[in-house]
Amino acid sequence: MAGKDYYSILGVRRSATEQEIKQAYRRLARKFHPDVNPGNKNAESRFKEINEAYEVLSDKEKRENYDRYGDQWQYADQFAKAGAQQTPFWEFRRSGGQGFPESDLETLFGDLFETFGTGTSRRRGRPRHSLDVEQPVEVTLEEAYQGTSRILNMETGEPCPTCRGTGRIQNVPCSTCRGSGVAPRLQRIEVKIPAGVTDGSRMRVAGKGQPGYDGTRGDLYLVISVKPHPLFERRGDDLYVEVGVPLTAAVLGGEVEVPTPKGKLALRVPPETQNGRTFRLAGQGMPHLGNSLRGDLLAKVKVLLPTNLSAEEKKLFERLSQLRPSG
């Protein structure tokens, strides 16, 4: 039974910290995101694999179960109830094995099947846990600023009505679901994305994941990516933008327009403003996720030199050069 090495998928050590795992995930998710690699099936497959690894390793409890049970981490509760004394997954990996020995799993799962009236155990197939699902969602900076919503067409499933989600009927794989225990269906879900989300935010939508064998559902996690903006650079909740200032306004003072995600603001530029000076517009940045606080907007002056000078303008600049010689 081959086991996936989630640590290798993310390119981190087994002892990696939460921050190291998060950084590795964000780097790889950006590299293999389907929008960055349109039509590339290998990149799409790699992106799903990266999300699967991050879902487990970013969750403390799931990571502990994975370190012990490998690919079977979802069945940790059943292992514990059955009194399983399994060798940790990574000890098998170090010794050249992969996952759990098949014979041990057969014995273990045999203890998990339900007992009926006669007191004898009857195998009903591997129980299916409710599963959490991750869904990548891309938003613009304006949508992250204001909050938005999305309609998602999610391919989920319901416990198969024929075998009641067990995958087997009288020890034979169910023909309806082909032994999976799941009857697939397409689910249309509207999700709300709050203002202030950042690149890499994970938003939980309770009860919208895959169904379990007992009918309960896992959760849906939206993995947010924010598209780069042609004007604004985001750093935390602050926004940075360059503002073109005519030479005359920079020298004599004047008023210029500063773009923001919600429109333009007037900025009074004092006389003799130097190129590269930065003005802070308090509270005009991104909203902070989960509360009413906001970051700032930092407008950096970019002095615009005049072009296509008239003869009179050239004379004025020549006169200025005489009054203020360079060097």
Distance (Å, whole) CA 206 – CA 203: 10
Q: Pick one of 3.30.300.250, 3.30.70.890, 3.30.70.2740, 2.60.260.20 as the CATH number of 233-323.
A: 2.60.260.20
Has this prediction a pTM greater than 0.85? no
- Cα 59 from chain centroid? 14
Q: Pick one of 2.60.260.20, 3.40.630.30, 3.30.390.30, 2.60.40.10 as the CATH number of 127-228.
A: 2.60.260.20
CA torsion through residues 307, 313, 317, 318, sign: positive
Give the SS3 label for residue 106. Answer: helix
Q: What is the pLDDT along the chain (327 residues), one digit of tens a residue?
A: 346 789 999 999 998 999 999 999 988 988 888 777 878 888 888 988 898 889 889 888 889 888 887 767 776 666 665 544 444 444 444 444 444 444 444 434 443 433 333 333 333 444 444 578 888 999 999 999 999 999 988 766 667 777 877 778 877 788 777 777 777 677 788 999 999 999 889 999 988 887 665 667 788 899 999 999 989 999 999 999 999 999 999 999 999 999 999 999 999 999 999 999 999 999 999 999 888 899 999 999 999 999 999 999 999 999 999 998 875
Q: What is the DSSP letter of 230?
A: S
Half-sphere exposure of 161 (CA within 13 A, CB side): 1
**Chain region(s) in the chain for CATH 2.60.260.20:** 127-228, 233-323
